[in-house]
């Protein structure tokens, strides 16, 4: 069974660009809509709207608020998502096809992390 979000959820994910190094997905959903578990490789997420989502992986879940224009790192992960806000979720994902360098520590965060701004903790904002 595939866990490719563009295959599992074509109503939400559209492939807008792809080559041998990256794939760019556009994601759009409306309040109350969500996805079943799917995989993301290491990615950069760029938000096009402000939104609130609940992300879940197994027994772990986290609520995330992101403002329009945010750029966040997303470690490779499998999660499901639900739009728990009052606005559309609209974002671009730049998925990396190259494997992470050997020995690079893997993040343990569910969802996007802010590695370049904010409080320096890497916690979702």
Judged against a pLDDT cut of 90, whether residue 104 lies above it is answered with no
In a domain, 57, yes or no: yes
Q: Which one, of 112, 89, 99, 97, lies nearest residue 13 by Cα?
A: 89
The domain tally of the chain equals: 1
**By residue range, what is the domain housing residue 54?**
5-96
Residue 76 included in any domain: yes
- pLDDT-wise least confident of 2-6, 13-17, 104-108: 104-108
pLDDT class for 107, splitting at 50, 70, 90? Answer: low
Rg (C-alpha) for the chain, rounded Å, is: 14
pLDDT in tens, 25-60: 999 999 999 999 999 999 999 999 999 999 999 999
Q: Is this prediction's pTM over 0.75?
A: yes
Residue at 109 is within a domain = no
80 part of a folded domain: yes
Looking at every residue in the chain, the average pLDDT score rounds to 88
- Does residue 123 have a pLDDT over 70? no
Residue 74 within any structural domain of the chain: yes
């Amino acid at each position: 069974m595939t866990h490719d979000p563009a295959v599992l959820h074509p109503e939400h994910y559209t492939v807008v660009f792809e080559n041998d190094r990256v794939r760019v997905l556009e994601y759009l959903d409306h309040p109350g809509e969500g996805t079943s578990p799917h995989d993301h490789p290491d990615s950069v997420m760029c938000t096009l709207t402000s939104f609130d989502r609940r992300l879940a992986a197994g027994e772990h879940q986290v609520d995330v608020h992101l403002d329009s224009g945010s750029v966040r790192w997303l470690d490779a992960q499998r999660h499901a998502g639900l739009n728990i806000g009052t606005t559309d979720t609209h974002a671009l994902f730049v998925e990396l096809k190259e494997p992470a360098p050997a020995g690079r520590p893997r993040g343990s965060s569910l969802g996007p992390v802010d590695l370049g701004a904010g409080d320096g903790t890497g916690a979702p904002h």
